[in-house]
Amino acid sequence: MNLAISVHHLKKNKHHKTQIKQGMKTEFPFTDLHANIEEYYEKTDHKIRADQPHKFTNWEEIRSYYPLDKDIVYLNSGTEGSMPVQVLSEYNDYLHKWASNPSYYFAFNKITQDWQKVNRAKVAEFISTTEENLCITSNTTEGLGMVIMGLPFEEGDEVIVSLQAYPSLISPLNVLCKTRKIKYKIVPLPTYLDTKQEIVDAFAAAITPKTKAICVSHITYTTGLRLPVKEICDLARKHNAISLIDGAHATGMIPLDMEQIGCDFYAAAGHKWLNGPPGTGILYIREALKNEHKLLPILSELYGFENTYSITDMLQIRGCNNTPGYTALCGAIRLNTDIGKERILNRILELNDYAKERIIEEWGENALISPFGSDKRDLCSGIASFIPSRDYNKRFDEAFITGLSSELINNYNIWIRYINFVNDPSVTENKTWALRVSTNLFNNTDDIDKLFDTLVKIA
Ligand SMILES: Cc1ncc(COP(=O)(O)O)c(C=O)c1O
């Protein structure tokens, strides 16, 4: 598929427009997957097994691994990814094994047992660190909470966050404001920006002698802005502040190297762009054996009984976890690595550029609120947010945006989501409302055309 295809070319091919039938319901085509994996492989021609290396051939083949309902257009990996058949089969396989002898698979089997050493090593390699610095979690929220609630913040300490931080980061900070009288400061991020430096400068200006930590999203959930996390972590270190990155959207989308980023903590999701099972996430702790920042394990079975455990071991051992899911997460990692991390990033960005071109073509440059252009590539991600109108004021019209989002889902089976945010914390009445489209590796230009052809009709 030629991604350089212009929007003009598309215009000429309107007969490719969506054929989605309203209100149509389909049977999930893989209902027998649980019953018999082998039979499933026979039937569906998916011969690629989770435990075998995968060779990239083309994107349409990759797309065929994802058992997405044929009648939906799925452009919302920013909320949840889908699991490819390889991951589903590995998950099911280990769930079946678990059911066959639960105590053995909980405590003794080296793949599924609670310490998770084997899987932690695989996940660690994926983000260029080592097993002792890594804990497998249930999601990003859990990792962020483990760090924020576990750090020894004291009354008067200040934490800096960016304006478009996700509630999972703000919520534990709110608890600490109440219980330990810390304060957090919100740094406004310019909506339209040209360089990484503008972002770094905004954080630098917010630092005071009381700043104890800087917490930022690697990619914002609102506009998909990719933040210069390495530069922000350097800045934090220069001021003796702890750095915590919310990497919910980065894992699986962009190649990650913890050493290169240089953060103290990185919390991420396995169930979004990486297309791992629900309830899977990652927490990285820099030089966990030293535990430089004296993180306490707020969720653990081990603290206080012996002082020989590392912080990541203590956080890993927190009751019964979904370790068959963690095993399948490693399947998702293997597939991602086999396809190629850079190739996936390029694919995601190319599809997103294509969506952005269509936004500009249909509604003009002002309609697009995410960064765009080859000179801003390192600010871009697989998320594009936009207002499907040439009327500038429609961005403040909640009913217009939420109505369109519901109509797309309910009448056209097109799954995206809406977002809202403020540019300036002191002016909250002018909240911006926008639609958000996520382009993952399994999407194609037809998906994107279906979305925009439909929006042109209904917006
Ligand atoms: C930036 C960001 N952080 C954290 C989360 C929460 O992710 P999780 O479900 O993995 O806890 C989300 C969810 O959309 C998000 O967008």
Task: Render pLDDT for 294-320 as a digit per residue (tens, 0 to 9).
Answer: 999 999 999 998 778 999 999 999 999
pLDDT in tens, 65-93: 999 999 999 999 999 999 999 899 899 99
| Domain assignment present for 381 | yes
> Per-residue confidence at 279, pLDDT binned at 50, 70, 90?
very high
| In a shared domain, residues 296 and 345 | no
Q: What is the pLDDT of residue 2?
A: 36
Does residue 14 register a pLDDT over 60?
no
Ligand 1 center–CA 144 separation, angstroms: 10
| Domain end (from 281, 303, 336) | 336
| In a shared domain, residues 353 and 233 | no
> Per-residue confidence at 457, pLDDT binned at 50, 70, 90?
very high
Residue nearest (by alpha carbon) to ligand 1 atom 16: 221
| In a shared domain, residues 352 and 451 | yes
| In a shared domain, residues 13 and 146 | no
Does residue 454 register a pLDDT over 80?
yes
Compute the average pLDDT of residues 343-350.
98
In degrees and rounded to multiples of 5, residue 289 shows phi and psi of -65, -30
| Domain assignment present for 252 | yes
| Domain end (from 284, 302, 336) | 336
The residue behind tokens 């990792």 is: 143
- Measure the CA–CA gap between 283 and 143, rounded to whole angstroms: 5
| Domain assignment present for 163 | yes
Angle at 305 between CA 301 and CA 309, to 5 degrees: 75
Q: What is the pLDDT of residue 38?
A: 52
| In a shared domain, residues 223 and 368 | no
Q: Which residue from 166, 189, 381, 421 has its CB within 8 A of the most atoms of ligand 1, so it is best to mutate?
A: 166
Ligand 1 environment, Cβ below 6 A: 79, 139-141, 166, 168, 217, 221, 246, 248-249, 269, 281
Q: For residue 422, what are the CA distances in angstroms to 58, 65, 205, 395?
A: 40, 39, 19, 11
| In a shared domain, residues 213 and 288 | yes
| In a shared domain, residues 331 and 357 | no
User: What is the domain count for the chain?
Assistant: 2
Does residue 44 register a pLDDT over 50?
no
- Average the pLDDT over each of 193-207, 287-301, 375-389 and give the range with the smallest value: 193-207
Ligand 1 center–CA 235 separation, angstroms: 24
| Domain assignment present for 108 | yes
Q: Which residue from 77, 136, 137, 141 has its CB within 8 A of the most atoms of ligand 1, so it is best to mutate?
A: 141
Ligand 1 center–CA 45 separation, angstroms: 34
Residue nearest (by alpha carbon) to ligand 1 atom 12: 248
Compute the average pLDDT of residues 391-395.
92
- What count of Cα atoms within 13 Å lies in the side-chain half-sphere of residue 162? 32
| In a shared domain, residues 124 and 19 | no
- Measure the CA–CA gap between 67 and 50, rounded to whole angstroms: 15
Q: What is the pLDDT of residue 245?
A: 98
Ligand 1 center–CA 100 separation, angstroms: 34
β-bridge mates for residue 31, sequence order: none
| Domain assignment present for 302 | yes
Ligand 1 center–CA 107 separation, angstroms: 30
CATH number at residue 126: 3.40.640.10
DSSP H or E run through 238? helix 229-238
In one-letter notation, the amino acid at residue 241 is A
| Domain end (from 307, 336, 365) | 336
**Cβ within 8 Å of residue 44, ≥6 positions away:** 30, 85
The share of the chain scoring above pLDDT 90, in percent, equals 80
CATH number at residue 357: 3.90.1150.10
| In a shared domain, residues 305 and 373 | no
| In a shared domain, residues 274 and 207 | yes
Compute the average pLDDT of residues 247-272.
98
Does residue 130 register a pLDDT over 70?
yes
In one-letter notation, the amino acid at residue 250 is A
- Measure the CA–CA gap between 123 and 131, rounded to whole angstroms: 8
Residue nearest (by alpha carbon) to ligand 1 atom 9: 139
Q: What is the pLDDT of residue 26?
A: 35
**Cβ within 8 Å of residue 297, ≥6 positions away:** 146, 150, 303, 311, 314, 315, 318
| Domain assignment present for 39 | no
β-bridge mates for residue 217, sequence order: 246
> Per-residue confidence at 425, pLDDT binned at 50, 70, 90?
low
For 210: left if phi > 0, alpha if psi spans -120 to 50, otherwise beta; the answer is alpha
- Measure the CA–CA gap between 181 and 73, rounded to whole angstroms: 46
| In a shared domain, residues 349 and 331 | no
Top pLDDT among 38 and 102 is at 102
pLDDT in tens, 162-196: 878 999 999 999 999 999 999 999 998 776 777 89
- The minimum-distance atom of ligand 1 relative to the CA of 271 is 10
In this prediction the pTM is: 0.90
Cβ 120 vs Cβ 135: under 8 Å:
yes
Q: Which residue from 76, 77, 79, 140 has its CB within 8 A of the most atoms of ligand 1, so it is best to mutate?
A: 140
Rg of the chain over all Cα atoms, to the nearest angstrom: 22
Q: What is the pLDDT of residue 430?
A: 78
| Domain assignment present for 371 | yes
Instruction: Give the domain extent around 219.
Output: 94-336
Compute the average pLDDT of residues 145-158.
98
Residue 9: closest CA among 309, 368, 358: 358
Residues of 257-268 as b/e, b for ≥16 C-beta within 10 angstroms?
ebeebbbbbbbb
Residue 451: closest CA among 72, 77, 47: 72
| In a shared domain, residues 345 and 442 | yes
Does residue 210 register a pLDDT over 50?
yes
442 C-beta neighbours (distance < 10 Å), count: 22
Ligand 1 center–CA 222 separation, angstroms: 11
Beta strands 281-285 and 134-137 are antiparallel
Top pLDDT among 11 and 162 is at 162
How high does pLDDT run on average in the chain? 89
Cβ 69 vs Cβ 354: under 8 Å:
no
Read off the tokens for 312.
Answer: 């990541």
Compute the average pLDDT of residues 262-281.
98
First-to-final CA distance of the chain: 28
| Domain assignment present for 86 | no
